[in-house]
């Protein structure tokens, strides 16, 4: 309740501040012709959001750098998603937005010293915070927006986010590359995070230690999600593992979770005598990603793990609520099947084991 009140106050304050400062904001130029990449050198992408938002942005950074290797790419990111881009080979630097006024003003001063030629706001709604970050980061730069409605007049380019054809969030985010004259239809979509070789080696050592008869016969089950409404019940997780173990006797199963909930993963694995293993403690996000890259299949609630797995082309069974048809945007990208949707808008609790098991069998059969 306290958090809700504070959030309402924050949004109200931002609306008032925006209304008072409109006279000082630079209007967009309403451009249609693309930016000439030969005339620019530095691009700043604003993405101070959740982990999943940054993961689905990786194709943008990859395709821009591939098309125009001379460009230097920077991000304004958040403490929640910087881990996915800290090692990224396509990014020259990352700046942290912390919601601390003094730290963020110092950060903006550092960004301004770049004298970026383009600032791309990837926050896909009318965010006052993102608008001000866009305006302050590099006055005079080309400004690209994504999914802006009330604020669209403050951007030189603005691209749709939700579309009538219910395109995936990755396809919709890639639309902003049109501003650079890039053929989005030809862009590569499955772009995994940059993971150091040593972390892949650690993942392979862990899998070797499981003593699987076939190291490529591993199914992952992620039991954590960002909200309690996205948690599947423990008994259903256990029943699903029981049925999968019976149907696939050559497979091993890895149970992953948020570090704070590792006890749940350990308790679930301990229900079985063999072939079910919790992820070891202390793994970084990139090390977990390296393990995911070795799976045959991942089963998970709607969370960032969906997009990490699909970036490696790992099949995913994703569990979603029906709310606002968000599963059409955030479903496992580029695969047929695997999206299991609840019968209500609020929780995934009514999704049955039969549905998830059938989706898993369908994807595994398609892999043969």
Average pLDDT over residues 61-68: 98
Q: Name the DSSP letter for residue 233.
A: P
> Taking the CA of residue 76 as centre, how many other CA atoms within 13 Å lie in the half-sphere pointing to its CB?
34
3-state secondary structure 266-309: HHHHCCCCCCEEECCCCCCHHHHHHHHCCCCEEEEECCHHHHHH
Cα–Cα dist 20/31, whole Å: 27
Q: Note the pLDDT tens digit of each residue in 234-251.
A: 999 999 999 999 999 999
Q: Do domains 29-186 and 197-367 have the same CATH topology?
A: yes
Please provide the average confidence, as pLDDT, over all residues in the chain.
Answer: 93
Domain extent listing, the chain: 29-186, 197-367
Confidence of residue 207 (pLDDT cuts 50, 70, 90): very high
Confidence of residue 11 (pLDDT cuts 50, 70, 90): low
* Topology (CATH) of 29-186: Rossmann fold (3.40.50)
Question: Is the domain covering 197-367 a CATH 3.40.50.2000 domain?
Answer: yes
Q: Note the pLDDT tens digit of each residue in 330-362.
A: 999 999 999 999 999 999 999 999 999 999 999
Residue (of 358, 341, 338) closest to 349 by Cα position: 341
Q: Is the pLDDT of residue 215 over 90?
A: no
- Is the pTM of the predicted complex or chain greater than 0.85? yes
Q: Note the pLDDT tens digit of each residue in 82-130.
A: 999 999 999 999 999 999 999 999 999 999 999 999 999 999 999 999 9
Q: Is the pLDDT of residue 79 over 90?
A: yes
Q: Note the pLDDT tens digit of each residue in 271-312.
A: 999 999 999 999 999 999 999 999 999 999 999 999 999 999
Count of Cβ atoms closer than 10 Å to residue 132 Cβ: 18
Least-confidence region, from 71-80, 171-180, 212-221: 212-221
């Amino acid at each position: 309740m306290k958090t809700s009140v504070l959030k309402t106050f924050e949004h109200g304050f931002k609306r008032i501040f925006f209304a008072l400062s409109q006279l000082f904001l630079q209007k967009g130029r309403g451009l249609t012709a693309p930016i000439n990449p030969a005339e620019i050198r530095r691009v700043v992408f604003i993405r101070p959001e959740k982990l999943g938002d940054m993961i689905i942005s990786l194709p943008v950074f990859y395709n821009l750098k591939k098309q125009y290797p001379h460009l230097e790419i920077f991000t304004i990111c958040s403490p929640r998603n910087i881990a996915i881009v800290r090692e990224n080979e396509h990014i020259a630097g990352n700046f942290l937005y912390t919601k601390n006024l003094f730290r963020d003003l110092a950060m903006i001063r550092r960004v301004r010293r770049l004298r970026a030629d383009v600032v791309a706001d990837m926050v896909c709604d009318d965010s006052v915070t993102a608008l001000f970050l866009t305006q302050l980061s590099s006055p005079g730069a080309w400004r690209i927006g994504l999914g802006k409605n009330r604020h669209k007049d403050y951007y030189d380019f603005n691209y749709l986010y939700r579309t009538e054809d219910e395109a995936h969030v990755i396809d919709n985010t890639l639309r902003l590359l049109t501003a650079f004259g890039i053929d989005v239809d030809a862009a590569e979509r499955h772009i995994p995070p940059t993971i150091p070789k040593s972390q892949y080696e650690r993942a392979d050592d862990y899998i070797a230690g499981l003593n699987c008869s076939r190291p490529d016969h591993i199914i992952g089950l992620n039991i954590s999600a960002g909200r309690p409404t996205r948690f599947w019940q423990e008994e259903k997780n256990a029943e699903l593992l029981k049925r999968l173990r019976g149907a696939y006797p050559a497979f091993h199963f890895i149970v992953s979770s948020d570090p704070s909930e590792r006890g749940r993963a350990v308790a679930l694995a301990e229900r079985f005598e063999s072939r079910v293993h919790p992820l070891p403690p202390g793994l970084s996000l990139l090390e977990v990603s390296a393990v995911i890259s070795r799976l045959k299949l991942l089963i998970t609630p709607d969370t960032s793990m969906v997009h990490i797995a699909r970036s490696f082309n790992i099949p995913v069974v994703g569990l979603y609520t029906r709310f606002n048809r968000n599963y059409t945007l955030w479903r496992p990208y580029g695969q047929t099947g695997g999206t299991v949707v609840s019968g209500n808008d609020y929780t995934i609790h009514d999704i049955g084991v039969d549905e998830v098991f059938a989706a898993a069998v369908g994807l595994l059969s398609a892999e043969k």
